[in-house]
C-alpha cells in the first residue's frame, strides 16, 4: 500500500512537469519541442478593454479617492477600514488594498475581520487604513479589481497564491519545481500586476509630470 501511494505521488509529480499545455479563462498555450503556440486574442482584447474603461474612469474621477470608493462599492466589493491595517494583513500574508479570493484559515480570519461571519472562502475585499486618501494607490488596486471582474487570467486563487510566494523573495523562489501550467499562471499574475503599475505610472506622469510620478507611487505603496 505504501509503495502504491508513493508511486501515485511520483506519477502526479511527473505528469505536472511533462504537461505541455496550459488553459485559462481566455487563452491557451501549447509547447512542442522548441515551438510554442499561444492563443490569446480574447485576453488581449480584454486587456485593452480594461485600459480603455480605466481611462474613462480617471477622466471622470477628478482624481478623488471618494469617486473610486463609490465605484468599488457599486461593484459589490466590501471596503473595510482598519487601524494599522498593514500589520494585521501581514499575519495573513496580505497587503493593504485589494485582497482577492482566499481559502482556509486565511479566509476565516479575513471574513471575521470584514464582519462576514465564519467562512472558509472569501470574495474580493478592500482593506484600507482609516485615513487612506492616496488616489494613485487606490487606482492601482482598482485597476486589478476591474481586471478581475473582466475575467483576465492571473487573478484567480491558484495564480495569486503562486504570485504571493514569488513576490516574497523572487531570488529564492525555486521556479524549477513548477509545472508548465503553474509557470503560465504565475506569468499571467505578474502581467496583471505590471499592467496596473504601468497604467498608474502613465496617469501620474500625465497629471503631475514624470518628476513626481514615481514619488507618488512609492508613497502610496503600489507594487512596482
pLDDT tens column, 80-112: 999 989 898 998 889 999 999 999 999 999 999
Q: So what's the pLDDT on residue 221?
A: 47
Q: Are 140 and 97 in contact, with CB atoms under 8 Å apart?
A: yes
Q: Where does the pLDDT of residue 23 fall: very low under 50, low under 70, confident under 90, or very high at 90 and above?
A: confident
CA-based angle 98:99:101, to the nearest 5?
135
Number of Cβ within a 10 Å radius of residue 200: 27
| Percent of all residues in the chain with a pLDDT value above 70, rounded to a whole number | 77
* Most confident listed range (28-32, 155-159, 183-187): 155-159
Q: Are 192 and 152 in contact, with CB atoms under 8 Å apart?
A: yes
Length of the chain: 224
Q: Where does the pLDDT of residue 210 fall: very low under 50, low under 70, confident under 90, or very high at 90 and above?
A: very low
Mean pLDDT for 7-15 is 59
Q: Where does the pLDDT of residue 130 fall: very low under 50, low under 70, confident under 90, or very high at 90 and above?
A: confident
CA distance 14 to 128: 43
pLDDT in tens, 179-190: 888 888 999 999
CA distance 136 to 65: 9
Q: Where does the pLDDT of residue 207 fall: very low under 50, low under 70, confident under 90, or very high at 90 and above?
A: confident
Strand order in the sheet with 78-81: 78-81, 125-128, 97-99
Q: So what's the pLDDT on residue 222?
A: 44
> pTM for the whole thing?
0.81
Q: Is 38 helix (H, G, I), strand (E, B) or coil?
A: strand
CA-based angle 126:128:134, to the nearest 5?
110
Q: Are 130 and 82 in contact, with CB atoms under 8 Å apart?
A: yes
pLDDT in tens, 56-84: 999 999 999 999 999 999 999 999 999 98
Backbone angles phi, psi at 30, to 5 degrees: -130, 140
Farthest-apart Cα atoms in the chain, separation: 67
Q: So what's the pLDDT on residue 178?
A: 80
Amino acid at each position: 500500500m505504501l509503495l502504491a501511494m508513493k508511486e501515485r505521488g511520483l506519477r502526479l509529480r511527473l505528469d505536472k512537469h511533462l504537461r505541455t499545455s496550459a488553459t485559462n479563462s481566455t487563452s491557451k498555450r501549447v509547447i512542442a519541442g522548441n515551438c510554442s503556440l499561444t492563443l490569446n486574442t480574447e485576453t488581449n482584447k480584454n486587456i485593452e478593454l480594461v485600459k480603455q474603461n480605466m481611462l474613462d474612469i480617471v477622466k471622470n474621477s477628478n482624481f478623488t479617492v471618494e469617486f473610486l470608493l463609490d465605484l468599488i462599492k457599486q461593484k459589490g466589493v466590501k471596503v473595510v477600514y482598519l487601524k494599522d491595517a498593514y500589520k494585521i494583513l501581514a499575519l495573513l500574508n496580505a497587503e493593504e488594498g485589494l485582497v482577492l479570493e482566499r481559502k482556509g484559515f486565511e479566509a476565516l480570519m479575513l471574513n471575521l475581520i470584514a464582519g462576514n461571519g465564519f467562512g472558509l472562502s472569501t470574495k474580493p475585499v478592500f482593506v484600507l487604513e482609516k485615513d487612506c486618501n492616496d488616489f494613485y494607490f487606490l487606482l492601482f488596486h482598482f485597476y486589478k479589481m476591474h481586471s478581475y471582474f473582466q475575467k483576465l487570467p492571473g487573478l484567480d486563487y491558484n495564480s495569486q497564491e503562486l504570485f504571493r510566494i514569488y513576490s516574497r523573495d523572487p531570488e529564492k523562489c525555486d521556479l524549477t519545481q513548477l509545472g508548465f501550467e503553474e509557470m503560465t499562471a504565475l506569468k499571467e499574475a505578474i502581467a496583471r500586476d505590471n499592467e496596473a503599475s504601468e497604467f498608474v505610472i502613465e496617469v501620474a506622469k500625465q497629471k503631475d509630470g514624470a518628476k513626481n510620478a514615481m514619488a507618488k507611487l512609492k508613497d502610496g505603496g503600489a507594487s512596482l
